[in-house]
Chains A and B, each alone.
Chain A
Amino acid sequence: MSRAGTKLDSKKVNSELFTLTYGALVAQLLKDYENVEDVNKQLERMGYNMGIRLIEDFLARTGSGRCYDFRDTAEKIQTGFKIFLGITPTITNWSAAGDEFSLCFEANPLTEFVELPDHCLNLKYCNVLIGVLRGACEMVQMEIACWFVQDQLKNDNVTELRIKFIKRLEDAIPAGED
């Protein structure tokens, strides 16, 4: 491979190839499963598998350390979206306790070219993102919950992803690493 291949920039792929591959995957799942709920679950599971590995890439690229608080985490998640999907969702709607916030997406490479047919209105098309976040946070000893509040595919103005801090996973620290 040429030297240019080792540049950071060239570690990118055409987003349409990504979009369409994801679309083909979702379409295949819809064909294979009778129940839309099962498709949602499967997408989340796949996202989880991706998340537990993507976090390594994130840490390697950013060299970031532990988060001081959940606001810190929110910013890092935002950076993650920038690095991996090339988009910057806005962080909004903080809860008073500071343990819950929303990420709002104007555009999202996953949903480009996508229109949900009427029989798929229960499909959480982007559920893979939820899995990714859950997996990635779990690997840094954080349990979170997340869900979609609004979805552009369901005709909302933005796609809003709500993220809630559940607890620190103390037990997950490997022995001898404290």
Chain B
Amino acid sequence: MTGITISAVRTRTSILDKSLSKGKGEVSLSCFALLFSELVQYCQNRVYTVPELQNKLAEIGTEVGHKITDLLVVREKGGKLWKSLFGREADKLEHANDDERTYYIIEKEALVNKFISVPKDKGSLNCASFIAGIVEAILCDCGFQAKVTAHWHKGTTYMVKFDDAVVARDKQLEDR
């Protein structure tokens, strides 16, 4: 039984007509881990070296980060990004002694590294580059230009290096 077609185009309900979810939904960790594993394998097949792989992951993470900024802005929700995103707070935040631009976020066991065993020939690979990409995108979108990289140190350490301009601006604000 088919109706009479009057127009060739059906009116589309735009995604903007729908209300935004509260963002409290959850999926199982194994699901995410396996999806991430597919992502890593896919990227790996398209690059030659470990740094290239990390860059690729960071690049894709950046895409995710931009979208998360959008969500944060639309929801006008400040507060604890790390906790809402990764289910718990980062283990430690440190400020580099010798460089005021540099901060370290330390996680003993990064979410994405939980089920990843790094092959011997790729010792330096840290798939948390993906997370670093997310964090970098969010910081940059919010006006804190920075470079974020992931390293193996006390688990996973994200090195957040702010631009000089950001630090200078911060100082100006403090002086006022």
Interface residues, chain A, with chain B CB atoms under 8 Å away: 1-2, 10-18, 20-25, 27-29, 32, 42, 46, 49-50, 53-54, 57, 83-86, 109, 112-115, 128, 155
Contact = CB atoms under 8 A, between A and B. Distances in A.
Nearest to B12: A155
Contacts of A42: 42
B28 A24 contact: no
Contacts of A14: 23, 25-26, 84-87
B36 A21 contact: yes
Q: By DSSP majority rule, is chain A's interface helix, strand, loop, or mixed?
A: helix
Nearest to B68: A20
B67 A113 contact: yes
Contacts of B1: none
Contact of A21 (B10, B15, B41, B64): B64
Contact of B68 (A13, A16, A115): A16
A30 to B, nearest CB: 12
B60 A18 contact: no
B39 interface: yes
B108 interface: yes
Contacts of B29: 11-13
A13 to B, nearest CB: 5
B43 to A, nearest CB: 8
A84 B87 contact: no
Interface string B86-125: 1110000000000000000000110100000000000000
B21 interface: yes
A15 B27 contact: yes
Given A23-B67, A57-B30, A86-B26, 5 more contacts: A14-B84, A16-B23, A21-B32, A23-B64, A46-B35
